[in-house]
Structure 1
Amino acid sequence: MKAMVDALFDGLSELVYVCDPATHELLYLNKAGRSVYGDRAVEKHEPCYRVLQGREAPCEFCTNQLLNTEEFFEWEATNPVTNRHYVLRDKLIDWDGVLARLEIAFDITERENEKMALALMVDASAMIVDCIRILEADDDLYLAFDEVLRRLGTFFIADRAYVFELEGARVANMREWCNDQAETHKDHFQDIPVSLIENWVETFAVGEAMVIDDIDSLRESGNAEECSMLLQRHVSSLVAVQLVDNGKLIGCIGVENPRLGGRLDVVVTLLLGLAHFVTARMKRDEAQRKVAELIWNDTLTGVRSRAAFHRDYDQGEFGRLGIVLADADGLALVNCEWGRAAGDGILQNIAKTMKSVFDRVYRIGDDEFCAVVEHVDYARFSELATQLTVQFADRDLPASVGTAWQENCHRTVAVLDMAGDRMRRAKRGRHRAVALGVDLASDAAVGSLLCQGGAQRAVEEGKFDIYLMPQSSSRTDRIVGAEALIRYIDEANGTVALPTSFVLALEDMGEISSVDFFALSRACATLVRWQCEGRAVVPVSVNFSRLTASDDGFVDRLADTVSGYALDPSLIEVELTESARERSDDLLRQVADGLRSRGFRVAIDDFGVDNANYALFVQLEFDVLKLDKTLVWGLGNDAHSLTVIKGLVGLCADLGIETVAEGIESVQQLDALRSVGCTRAQGFLIGRPMPIAQFEERFL
């Protein structure tokens, strides 16, 4: 049988073998098979799976159970010993009286490789087309590169895929993808000298791809530094192709340790096809950056543009948000008298000063700038705004400032409008002072206050103090309270300035808040001292400008200030003017409710000035009504005035509201108030405004 088989199969170039299907013993191997597996393979009586497949157990893909004696069973497999791909034809034959397995192996490796290469190129081309589509469609360059590199690395079964960017003599790893087992080295390859990859640059310069298929050969070529860099990344092979823009090398794209198919030439072909589109995408992004630089940034001052402000803040909810507006004063005059360059210099200095305080600064008009602060409380926002105004003053920069802050901002336009209104009032402040005949250059009270940050600096320098004006019980004549009145003390000239010379201007400038809160702090400190000294403590009323009271953070700031002195809030009576209703009925009601809920007494001041409105009693809950002196001047000799006062006092009594009559200068007026049941009296008859020490000496 063997002689017949030898004669039949030894002349074939295909591998042929016969084995026992039960024991797997190799019974026959033709000449072509012996040339591969050895002449003694059959003589050792070893099993076919050990000789032919290099296994120690029967193959799980064995076809014995599928064979018969009538026809061949055909299938394909790759042999791990020969590393070749075969078409296999199996059949059962008679072998010396027993059934044996005959297998003929036809080597089709080259044909299979060609088929696999074609399939690889088809799949790779589809992958490259997808990458090109991503590069074209994604607006974000980095996100596009991340997805393209992920697809490249995954397709080639690589450790890493990356884009390097070349600028001058430095190279940076722009983006990098790594598989789950590879370690990223992106941060280690930022701003490295181009000399480190000089071999790559020289290769790219002649239009060739950088291909390394053997790291040892690179070491032997003398490129020790480059070799060390690659060994750090555990690189055994890589392909990188150049990115060129108008003949200039701008970077490269590459993959490390690609394992798909084992053909680096395929990787080169595909990367070269993709490189043009990567370069085009980088050029497009650079062009977009330049356009964005013009659109979103102001070229003169270096801050962001008006368009950027609208982009960032026209829509959305921002939580806590504060806006500071600054407008250059008298810029047109500067441009006219000193030239455009001088005006530009002022704008640049204003922008520089704002950037030193705030992160986000925008130029939203020819001479107007806007700073936006997010996620800070009112106290911190106010601190930053004050810091800016002080720096403007220190640098002699003529700028009017307006601020606004909201706890929960849903519409930035509302905050912007409020800040703009305050900024415009700041401009009007100096105009008002001049209209009143104040010499800003020489008037000690107004000249030093009506400049940016002037009020805050005066507070810090101790130039303000409060005078106390006593309030007496109309029934017992006992002193039951005092009103704190602000004074500007010019010790150098020995003068005391009344609030009429600066309060309205500071309101116009939006700087009255620091003065109001100084008066509150001074009153609190005085009350605490009285308690410590064992004096008879009487409540003190403190006036707040309607501008101060309109700030969203007003109630919290006031409560925090008093709490800082560990003082009973009922000892502070907060005076708000009825005219505050002109700004908003809801606002005044919210402020009054907020104060009363925290234990403060709320007084409505100046009732009777202009057109007093009885709707006040329906729309608002408060504790004290202060009757303006214009209502009480006729008391004692005018029955009509007495009737009006009596009606008001009676209404207040029915509502549980105390009444205080201001401007009491005669005994007749005081007696008339007693007759109608007015609660308290205040005026020169009771006592003029006086320093705290004098008040203590007379009444405590």
Structure 2
Amino acid sequence: MENSFNLSTISNEYNMLMTSLHISVSKHLLNDDFQVIWANRFFYDKTGYTKEEYDQNFHGSVRLYFSSAPEEYQAIEKAVKDALTANQRGYDAVCKMPRKDGSSIWIRFIGTFTNESIDGVPVIYVVYTDVNDLVNARTKVEKEHSKSQNMLRKELQTMECLKRIYGCMDMAEYMDDILYIIGTFLEAERAYMFEINDTKMDCIYEWCRADIVPQMDYCQRMDIKLLEPWYEEFCQGKSIVIPNADALKEENTYTFEVLHKQGIHSMVLSPIVMHDQLTGFIGADNSNVELLMNTSMMETLSYFIGISIEKSELNDKLIYHSFYDELTGAFNRNKYLQDIEKLCQSDSFTSLGVVYMDINGLKDINDHMGHKFGDQILIEGAEMLKKAFPAGDIYRLGGDEFVVLINGIGQSTLEDQVVNLKHYILLSTNCKGAVGSIWTDKVTDIDSKISEADELMYKDKMDFYRKNPTSNRYRFHNDTILQFSDKSKLEEEIAEGRFEVYLQPKVDFNRHIIGGEALIRYHDHQGKLIMPNDFINYLENARGIHYIDFFVFETVCKLLEKWKKENLLLKPVSVNFSRYTLRIPEYIEMLNAIWERYDVDKSLLEIEIIENDENYDNDFLISIIDKIKKAGFAISIDDFGSRYSNMALFINADLNTLKVDKRLMDDIDHNKRSQMLISSLVQICHSLHMRLIAEGVENEKQFSILQELGCDGVQGFLISRPVQIEQYENLFLK
């Protein structure tokens, strides 16, 4: 009696606990019907029946309850019998439990055998857990597993295709392999690529299964109308899947007839879209329908094929720009240097004609007629050269300078063609050029002969300016200036002290000196002071400017050493260098050779380069800046903003100072855009640890505005005009 009370109490407590935990639980007799003795309300909720309905319909028999799903009941019976046979404490089974509404849910049955019995029949407790979501998820996973195997194979095939695409620059090298992989993976009869041009499309690559007749010849100049049903989706980059081509028969008769004629029952097409334009597509015919529906492989490949085509086109453009002058279509300096090297190493050299031509007065034309007109003059000059030397290679070396190399030409033929060129120049209204030519039959003479042709051209140019003394570019072309083309005479003028270095200060906004700029002046034989604008360009064209540049540099080195010995204030001095000097291969070595003769800190020597020179290509400019910095000298960019604004310099070049061009100062007191630009430049410079100096400051209003904008310093007539060295020392260093 006591044991019965304890069992009953424990049973009640168990039931209460399960109910309070919202756990489905029932108590059964371990007989053939698995008779329900008691169950909590959560058990009945699982069945969809109330307790009364369950008892009325099934009389507590689990076997009868599972009559609509006998196989599920058999699974429970087997689990119970196996557990008893194995002398286990309970059983664990998962099966579908039918519900009142005709549905079924997956339930986990966890039964526990007890020592309790009723009329000698053992009692078992069962806990029910809804595992419907879990089982469905598992079933889904199993279904997806087979799909994932295909997906994995597809991804591996796609990766293999991408390797082929990115391993080759030429589409012809990889496209056959790509189509083979697409065709075999999709179990297709054909795979192909079409190119679209206007209203027509052409099959340009095709793969066919061994037993299939190729269709490429038939698929040429096909009407784009064939794509009409899907054209809009195609242009949006969407793939088209046609599992059954017969479905097109009613609505798209034309498309159906074309497909039917080729024996196409199903197909998948993926567009190639470049620059928002439909340029082609890849496709496959008569594939495995299940594989056909997954278009990601085709879409991935069509996308990367488009990128590959764009990359190839870009590479072609880069090659073109590496070797061609975009304005005139002539070769550029890079190509010229490459070809000269090849000529010097050639085993088949017979003879060479070299022609130099320089457009006269191009700077005047640009200044007064505009650069657009000047560009037309350059184009006309290039066309003259092409016409005069049909077998020659034409190069634009930069600015107004052209050279022609004619390999294997006879001397008399060269002379005749040069006469023709000069005749074209004579007949031209606008394009006037100086010409120099030379012929050689010795490969060892190439470099010297090219230099000789260059010299002859500049003699011709000197004759032009003698005959045209009113040219604005060379308005001081008296005989003294013209003879600067003679290098020995130029060195003599320098030695006689006719060239003098002036200095102009740079100051901060407390008007304390922070540096200076060295500028050149020339005293002619009549005692007249000639400003650099009147002779620098001529010296550049005569290839004598480097004598002046290095003279100024050495003068500055001497001054800095002198100031150091005299305990004067030491501040950096900048020296301007022409583009021609910068292009001397030994430029850095020549700088160092001068510097080594003086006791001067390199940080006090600032090399100033003009940013707005169209003759600099960006790579060269960044390269020379890098070399100057590595040599230990400071570097400054001059005239920033006057015409070009090379922001790439900020990113790729290690600069010390940026000097804003005077033209931005002219209206800064009322031009808010100029102020905003300078404010932005100040922020960029400071974030990159650079100083920003404003040139051409002429009044207090400009000075105040620049101070408010955060500039580091100014240079201009407000502070001082360029002055002679002694005056500079007295005013600013003592």
TM interval, shorter chain, is: 0.3 to 0.5
Normalization by structure 2: what TM-score?
0.38
Normalization by structure 1: what TM-score?
0.40
